[in-house]
Amino acid sequence: MAPDSRGTAPGTRPKVRILVVGGGYVGMYTALRLQRRLGHRLRSGEAEVVVVTPEPYMTYQPFLPEAAAGSLSPRHVVVPLRRVLKHCTIVIGEAERVDHAKRTATVTTLATGEDGTGALEIPYDEIVVAPGSVSRTLPVPGLADFGIGFKTVEEAIGLRNHVIEQMDIASATRDPAIRDAALTFVFVGGGYAGVEALAELEDMARYTSRYYHNIKPADLRWILVEATGRILPEVGETMGKYAVRELRGRNIDVRLDTRLESCEGRIAVLSDGSRFPTRTLVWTAGVRPAPLLAATDLPLTERGRIRCTAALSVDGAEHAWAAGDAASVPDLSSSEPGTETAPNAQHAVRQAKVLAENIVRALAGRPTEDYRYSHAGSVASLGLHKGVAHVYGRKLKGYPAWLMHRVYHLSRVPTFNRKARVLAEWTLAGLFKREIVSLGSLEHPRAEFALAAGGHAPVGRPRSEQPPGRTGGEEHRAHPEDNPPGEGPPRSSG
């Protein structure tokens, strides 16, 4: 039974309930550490750790670009929370509000819509707020209609299917304008997510093109739009410049000091005046704190992150804790006062461990400790066998950097099970050829049966018509553009 105040029998409420909101880096690692440290109290029912998360898995986001490229299968870039957090209560749902004055979180689950009983009210004694961040969008005309982000496994796989589908469209169409738009891929934002996603997908598409009779690598047009004068700030200036050279050497059009002005009618218009008809617009221009934070009574900074102390407790609020992308944590390793720790996985993982230890200390009436960590540097993949790294002052590029990227992430991906699966997949991929198939039809599993049953196919719009990864259930006929004259309608939108 879900742990709501109405559903819990009198006397069964544990002495201490720790509510963790979010099952990402911070949420999973905090719960994992609490599970270890409070083991016998959890098993005896004296304490309870409840994790509220919309998905039953933690996503290892640094592997998303490899999942998009097909180097890793989607199941291996996620960690099943129920298996890892055996002694915690997992509630699949979303916290809509947190009323810390009353120590209650309002949570909607998949069932609340169906059973009509309304949202759960989960009372707690301690709360860990870790809902991470969402894509930070700007009011660019057309962006909401045609763009896609790159933060979730669904988006990564949707994008992979979409790119391959565009190659299929380009190969089949007789209209040069459709072909050009299908083979033009625009990415906005030159941080980790944008650069790695573009580099991996370009690599994958270039390889895939050798299996098309009428698409050459030079026909594919990849554009990276970055508003500042550099990319990959995480790896430092020199390595960032190297990354630009590397990408340009692969014929990728890197446009620095340039912004996306609009993308109405599927035409990307840039601030330098250029216009690119395109069916693919990937937006990775930064993140902002999760919307939930605005629905809490916890103190926020101007940028909307939860104001925390160096001990990861919420500033001025007792029994509330936060870390990761959603939290503004003082960076004690910086000589500049007022600096916050950056929103990245390195901090998220380490903060989670300190946070959990501090909760254990606080419950035992012991003083808490501050979080202090100097960023070790970063590694980034630029496609198969290509990368950049700047770690502990050492700069690496090309194959050694790529290898370091893989070794580092293999050591970091949670659980031995996942490490073994990832390693096995990389080994197999080294022995055999890349997967080049698009399984877009998985997004519409009922389409074939509905047609066979004589009904109206419950197709979503063809994915080429909509932002990749976004699938709708709406009834819609295929667009004539996707259906070259004389070639008949597509059977299903998959």
Ligand X SMILES: Cc1cc2nc3c(=O)[nH]c(=O)nc-3n(C[C@H](O)[C@H](O)[C@H](O)COP(=O)(O)OP(=O)(O)OC[C@H]3O[C@@H](n4cnc5c(N)ncnc54)[C@H](O)[C@@H]3O)c2cc1C
CA distance 348 to 334: 17
Q: Is 292 in the site for ligand X (CB under 6 A)?
A: yes
Query: Does 289 interact with ligand X (rule: CB under 6 A)?
Result: no
- Provide the minimum distance between the beta carbon of 351 and ligand X in the complex, in angstroms, as a whole number: 9
User: How many Cα atoms sit within 13 Å of 334 on the Cβ side?
Assistant: 12
Question: Which of 71, 344, 466, 493 touches ligand X by CB under 6 A?
Answer: 344
Indicate if the alpha-carbon torsion angle 327, 330, 332, 335 is positive or negative.
positive
Span near ligand X by CB under 6 A; candidates 59-67, 222-230, 365-373, 475-483: 59-67
SS3 sequence of 180-207? HHHCEEEEECCCHHHHHHHHHHHHHHHH
* CA proximity to 152, closest of 279, 304, 287, 20: 287
182-201 residues near ligand X, rule: CB under 6 A = 192-193
Please report whether residue 61 would count as binding ligand X according to CB under 6 A: yes
Rule CB under 6 A: choose which of 8, 16, 37, 54 binds ligand X: 54
CB of 302 to ligand X, least distance (A): 19
- Candidate list 147, 190, 324, 494; residue touching ligand X; CB under 6 A: 324
Strands (DSSP E) contained in 100-202 are 104-109, 120-123, 126-129, 133-135, 147-148, 184-188
**Which of 378/471 has CB closer to ligand X?**
378
Give residue 388's identity as a one-letter amino acid code: V
Q: How far is the CB of 468 from ligand X (least distance, A)?
A: 15
Taking residue 217's Cβ as centre, other Cβ atoms within 10 Å add up to: 14
Cα separation, 355 vs 370, whole angstroms? 9
Q: Dihedral sign for Cα 292, 293, 297, 302, please.
A: negative
Smallest gap from residue 400 Cβ to ligand X (A): 17
Instruction: Indicate which single residue of 112, 309, 346, 483 sits in contact with ligand X (rule: CB under 6 A).
Output: 346
CA-based radius of gyration for the chain: 24
> Considering the complex, what minimum distance in angstroms separates the CB of residue 483 from ligand X?
34
**Toward ligand X, which CB reaches closer, 151 or 279?**
151
Asked if residue 290 binds ligand X (CB under 6 A), the reply is yes
130 counts as binding ligand X under rule CB under 6 A: yes
Structure tokens at 41: 């109290």
Answer yes or no whether residue 62 interacts with ligand X by CB under 6 A.
yes
Contact range with ligand X by CB under 6 A, out of 21-29, 112-120, 121-129, 216-224: 21-29
Is residue 300 classed as helix, strand or coil in its secondary structure? strand
Q: Report if residue 325 touches ligand X, rule: CB under 6 A.
A: yes
Query: With binding defined as CB under 6 A, does residue 345 bind ligand X?
Result: yes
Q: Which one of 115-123, 174-182, 322-330, 430-438 is the stretch in contact with ligand X (CB under 6 A)?
A: 322-330
Q: Smaller CB distance to ligand X: residue 63 or 222?
A: 63
| Smallest separation, CB 93 to ligand X (Å) | 7
Q: Residue 363 and residue 353: Cα distance in Å, rounded?
A: 16
Q: Which is nearer to ligand X, 169 or 298 (CB)?
A: 298
Tokens of 222: 């990849």
In the complex, residue closest to ligand X by CB? 24
Q: Least Å distance between CB 366 and ligand X?
A: 26
Q: Which is nearer to ligand X, 53 or 184 (CB)?
A: 53
Segment (H or E) for 84: helix 81-84
Q: Which helix (H) or strand (E) holds 157?
A: helix 153-172
Binding-residue total with ligand X (CB under 6 A):
33
Q: Is 405 helix (H, G, I), strand (E, B) or coil?
A: helix
- Residues from 144 through 183 that contact ligand X (CB under 6 A): 150-151
Q: Please give the helix or strand (H or E) that residue 253 lies within, else none.
A: strand 253-255
Does 326 engage in binding with ligand X (CB under 6 A)? Answer: yes
Residue 64 lies near ligand X (rule: CB under 6 A): yes
What b-and-e string marks burial along 254-270, b requiring 16 or more CB atoms within 10 Å of the CB?
Answer: bbeebbbbebeebebbb
Instruction: Name the one residue in this structure whose structure tokens are 């998959």.
Output: 494
Residues that bind ligand X (CB under 6 A): 21-27, 52-55, 61-62, 64, 94-95, 130-132, 150-151, 192-193, 290, 292, 324-326, 343-346, 348
